[in-house]
């Protein structure tokens, strides 16, 4: 996947992988949903997932994967389709030369005249505390390892259009609903850093549509990404994905008339539930919109290595 401006460009689509995805049936397998101490989302599989060696060095100018890479990813995809079939059902794979260890799977939804992209990234990087090494890596190859933890980034993104070339999908133009999230810099010289309000906007959007007092950290349902409002999913089956799209659609319709005011207040101060614009909008959120999150609970615990993690219950 190549992102240029507000467009996600679709690269090579491997037919063997997509044929495998099309063959997934209606079976659903159980898995638990968690966040790591570093706030990364993962599912705990019932069985072990074996990830083979992948080459570390890759020419990002190549539009098609090597046969070796395609074969390895096909092996992983087949295992995920067996261990958690609902995760990949109804999705399409495409090759992203910029991030070969985070393969992309997608589905496009329509609500009225609006389009939404469900983009699932599967993280195949080995985490030393989460996996067992089967064969060591080298300077050129990642380790081959086994794990029951599959790290994911599932996101729904509002679109302006699906870009077609000769009838084939070649990109997704993102609907930009936030004009600018950069608000300044601090420090000097090598220590100069930019200041963005993405994190504050994420808290604003999520707290706005969660029931009052509900704490879901580190899970934030609504994210500021790609200069727009996206939805981060914890329901990963086809039915749960489809149900989430209208939620984002209505939230966007609710936010857009006030977006300039939200940005203006956020440029002056960090997020607080006492902000006038937040208080005003919170009072206007229909009570029934909270029902989607009413039973979501995030429980913290210590894992076997005495590291703090979080489990999602609903």
The parts of the chain modelled with pLDDT lower than 50 are 1-4, 182-187, 191-196
Mapping DSSP onto H, E and C, the string for 194-229 reads EEECHHHHHHHHHHHHCCCCCCCCCCCCEEEECCEE
Q: Per the structure, how many domains does the chain have?
A: 1
pLDDT, tens digit, for every residue of 224-238? 998 999 999 999 999
pLDDT at 15: 92
What are the phi and psi torsion angles at 260 (to 5°)? -60, -40
Q: Which residues contact 2 (CB under 8 A, 6 or more apart)?
A: 8, 9, 11, 96, 97, 98
pLDDT at 167: 83
pLDDT at 163: 93
Return the closest-CA partner of residue 40 out of 116, 118, 125.
Answer: 125
pLDDT at 180: 66
Q: Which residues contact 167 (CB under 8 A, 6 or more apart)?
A: none
Q: What is the span of the domain harbouring residue 161? A: 2-313
pLDDT at 5: 54
Taking the C-alpha atoms of 159, 162, 163 and 169 in order, what is their torsion angle to the nearest 10 degrees? 130
Report whether 147 contacts 51 (CB < 8 A).
Answer: yes
Report whether 53 contacts 142 (CB < 8 A).
Answer: yes
pLDDT, tens digit, for every residue of 22-64? 999 999 999 999 999 999 999 999 999 999 999 988 777 888 8
Report whether 108 contacts 140 (CB < 8 A).
Answer: no
Q: What is the pTM of this model?
A: 0.92
pLDDT at 181: 59
pLDDT at 27: 94
């Amino acid at each position: 996947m190549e992102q240029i401006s507000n467009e996600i460009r679709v690269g090579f689509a491997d037919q063997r992988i997509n044929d495998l995805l099309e063959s997934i049936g209606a079976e659903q397998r159980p898995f638990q949903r968690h966040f790591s101490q570093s706030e990364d989302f993962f599912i705990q599989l019932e069985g072990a997932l074996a990830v083979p060696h992948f080459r570390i060095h890759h020419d990002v100018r190549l539009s098609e994967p090597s046969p070796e890479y395609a074969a390895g990813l096909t092996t992983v995809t087949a295992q995920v389709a067996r261990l958690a079939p609902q995760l990949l059902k109804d999705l399409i794979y495409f090759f992203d030369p910029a991030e070969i260890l985070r393969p992309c799977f997608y589905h496009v939804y329509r609500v009225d005249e609006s389009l939404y992209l469900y983009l699932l990234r599967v993280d195949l990087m080995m985490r030393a505390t989460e996996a067992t090494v089967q064969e060591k890596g080298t300077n050129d190859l990642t380790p081959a390892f086994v794990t029951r933890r599959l790290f994911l980034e599932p996101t729904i993104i509002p679109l302006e259009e699906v870009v077609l070339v000769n009838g084939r999908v070649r990109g997704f133009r993102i609907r930009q609903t936030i004009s600018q999230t950069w608000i300044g810099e601090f420090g000097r010289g090598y220590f100069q850093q930019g200041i963005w309000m993405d994190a504050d906007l994420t808290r604003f959007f999520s707290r706005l549509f969660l029931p009052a007092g509900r704490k879901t950290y580190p899970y934030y349902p609504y994210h500021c990404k790609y200069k727009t409002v996206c939805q981060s999913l914890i329901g990963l089956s086809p039915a749960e994905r489809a149900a989430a799209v209208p939620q984002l659609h209505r939230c966007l319709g609710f936010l857009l008339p006030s977006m300039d005011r939200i940005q203006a207040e956020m440029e002056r101060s960090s997020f607080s539930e006492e902000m006038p614009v937040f208080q005003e909008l919170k009072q206007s959120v229909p009570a029934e919109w909270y029902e989607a999150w009413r039973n979501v609970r995030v429980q913290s615990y210590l894992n076997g290595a005495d590291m703090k993690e979080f489990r999602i219950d609903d």
